[in-house]
Amino acid sequence: MIRNQLDYFMYLTYTENDAIATIVFSRPKALNALCTAMLTELKALLEEIQHSETIKVVILTGEGKAFIAGADIAEMKGKTESEAMDFSKLGHSVMNLIENMPQPVIGALNGFTLGGGLEVALSCSFLLASDTARFSAPEVNLGLIPGFGGSQRLVRAIGLNNARYYLYTASMFNAEEAFRMGLIQGIFPGEELMDKAREIAKLIASKGPTAIKSLAPVINSGLSDGFEKGCETEQQMFASLFNSEAQEGMDAFLEKRKPRW
């Protein structure tokens, strides 16, 4: 077990079952708005999880009617330029950590996913949403732009012109539109969302663990360094797996049995 949530977390709820870690953003009176303390807690927790030998998948979700309804405006108001830079750097470090976790991170978007919440979602490996989820990048309404990587990841997730439209207009869109654009991979009734997320997490946890951990660096290499570098990284990772679990996986396939990872 990573930590006893009652002893450590103020804004997060943490559980761990069947090799699946579930992190719940738990600041419902503020619609789970991201403050410095919440980001710091999340960073510390993820840094522990990434070194775990037992946790195979992470699920992020929110308490109440929001996943995360943006950053904490009350905390941001009055920041100096230097303080705003520090806040942005903290947010970027957390989003990069989510994106580069060795364990896949499933975003289970249970409600409002706005601003900083959308940036958290965009950092996840893939996304599931309730049928009541709503999305927006509303920063220009405040005279701001995204500060945690949203301007870059939204383009990659939904395409250049779609991203431009939603960044410039701050328009809100629903789960059906998010699915149409490829932002989310499934829509479910709210009461079924977490069951479906756990079902998919268990499916992933049943696969070759080293292979699963190898996917994020391969995918991210291509995104950050270009197609050719990504292919080189893929070749290296592919070959290295022949010295680990691939032999067991292929033996199990040929022997028509489940692999013993």
Strands of 31-122, DSSP E: 57-62, 66-69, 105-109, 112-114
| Burial of 52 per CB tally in 10 Å (0-12, 13-18, 19+) | middle
Q: What are the backbone angles phi and psi of residue 185, rounded to the nearest 5°?
A: -110, 0
Residues serving a catalytic function are 119, 139
Whole-angstrom distance, CA of residue 23 vs CA of residue 18: 14
Whole-angstrom distance, CA of residue 161 vs CA of residue 70: 23
Q: Is 160 helix (H, G, I), strand (E, B) or coil?
A: helix
Q: In what order do the strands lie in the sheet with 126-130?
A: 12-17, 20-25, 57-62, 105-109, 126-130, 187-188
> What single-letter DSSP state applies at residue 136?
E
Nearest to 129 by CA among 115, 118, 140: 118
Q: Is 25 helix (H, G, I), strand (E, B) or coil?
A: strand
Query: What is the torsion angle, in degrees rounded to the nearest 10, for the CA atoms of residue 91, residue 95, residue 96 and residue 101?
Result: 140
